[in-house]
Amino acid sequence: MTDHAEAETAALSAADRWLALVDRGDLHASWSEASALFRAMVGEGEWEASLARAQAPIGRPLAREIRSMRYATSLPGAPDGEYVVLEYETRFERKERGGERVVMMKERDGEWRAAGYFVS
């Protein structure tokens, strides 16, 4: 186990809950449950549009498996803090082998929330 295993485990659990909102298509809830940083950088309408653009060619996720987790205190373009970068291998409706990256950040209230979401 790494020194940051507890943080990684908590972030993974929070990411799974957040991704369930995305998978259900509950974009309002997924946006409002994201980190303050995420909401400040991406408006709710922009979130819905960008997710629709990302999913248009490949469809919605059908299954995912965690590939890696990495704890960090500094990420490009983000303030210093506590982050866990999660990499998933994901099967989409029209793409058998794809990927998702979810960046989780620990907020001031101690909760882990999504700060970034990327599809590949």
pLDDT at 3: 77
Please report, rounded to a whole number, the percentage of residues in the chain having pLDDT higher than 70.
98
Q: pLDDT tens-digit profile of 62-88?
A: 999 999 999 999 999 999 999 999 999
Asked if 79 and 106 count as a contact pair (C-beta separation under 8 A), the reply is: no
pLDDT class of 2 with cuts at 50, 70, 90: low
Asked if 93 and 64 count as a contact pair (C-beta separation under 8 A), the reply is: no
pLDDT at 61: 93
